[in-house]
Amino acid sequence: MIITFDVGNTNIKFALWDGDNLVGDWRVNTKRDLSGDELGFMVDGFLHLAGYSFPQLEDMVVASVVPPMRPALERFSNKYIKKPPIFVEGHSQKMLKIEYSDPRQVGADRVVVSIAAWHRFRQSLIVIDFGTATTFDCISPEGAYLGGSIAPGFRLSAEALFQRASMLPKMESFYNTKSAICKNTVDGINSGLVLGYTGLVEGLVWRIAKEMGTKPKVVATGGLAGLFANQSDVIDEVLPNLTMEGLKIVYDEKKW
């Protein structure tokens, strides 16, 4: 069994694999000052609830965009899994050719979701990851990572609005809508944010596809992928565990 970690600026997501079977996945808030033992205590609790324990784990595979957490991740793995963690880096993995001016600038999470999507579909792709930032990653029909775009994440945009506009109520959840003319403030905020962000997604997908010169399949992942897949028909498929799948693929192929 292995455990895979996606360490982002907002959330840490981790999943437990028994062979090719995903037997558990969890999401917690990112805390940059978390110690290795605190991480161990937290993970142990989730494993115990699922009926598993640390001695069953053979390896830990990590994609991280939070460098300050690397020492804690290393201490956690060395102490509780008895092995150093396997960090998947965008520039050093051997699954996708990176056509970026400086491959070291590509986040490991962006490369890992691209690997998983390419492994599934083997065609030109746009992979949208709705996270702290929303990333649009492009893959050629031959399986090369072409680059992409980065936009402020939906929740980051919403939080900026609530922080700057003191009269507006803060919303914790959002919903699909077709109306841009709203009769109350809550619906108006939801409409402006959801329809506005949908316009961003659709506009970037259209421009990217035009530049690629193909008809790419558009797949989405991340916490809000379902919301925007229901809102817009530019998203062909939602794959919530794409990052975890990519880490597992890299591990199985021994190409990190």
DSSP-assigned beta bridge partners for residue 26: 14
Q: Count, in order, helices (H) and strands (E) of the chain.
A: 7, 11
Of 30, 60, 87, the domain-final residue: 87
Q: Tell whether 92 is covered by a domain.
A: no
Of 87, 113, 134, the domain-final residue: 87
Q: Pick the more confident residue, 16 or 90.
A: 16
Structure tokens at 126: 């746009």
Rounded to whole angstroms, how far apart are CA atoms 128 and 141? 17
Q: Where are the beta strands (DSSP E) in 104-168?
A: 125-130, 133-139, 144-152
- Average per-residue pLDDT for the chain: 95
Residue-wise pLDDT tens digits, 197-233: 999 999 999 999 999 999 999 999 998 999 999 999 9
The band of 242, judged by pLDDT with boundaries at 50, 70 and 90, is very high
Q: Tell whether 253 is covered by a domain.
A: no
Same domain, 207 and 113: yes
Residue-wise pLDDT tens digits, 48-93: 999 999 999 999 999 999 999 999 999 999 999 999 999 999 888 8
Residue-wise pLDDT tens digits, 131-174: 999 999 999 999 999 999 999 999 999 999 999 898 899 998 99
Residue 79 lies in domain: 2-87
Structure tokens at 68: 């300050």
pLDDT at 94: 85
Would you list the DSSP string of 205-248? Answer: HHHHHHHHTS--EEEEEETTHHHHHHH-TT--EE-TTHHHHHHH
Residue positions annotated with a catalytic role: 109
Residue-wise pLDDT tens digits, 115-135: 999 999 999 999 999 999 999
Q: How many domains does the chain divide into? A: 2
**Residue 86 contacts residue 251 (beta carbons within 8 Å):** yes
Of all residues in the chain, what percent carry a pLDDT higher than 70? 100
**pLDDT for residue 255 is more than 80:** no
pLDDT at 155: 93
DSSP-assigned beta bridge partners for residue 88: none
Q: Tell whether 256 is covered by a domain.
A: no
Q: Tell whether 255 is covered by a domain.
A: no
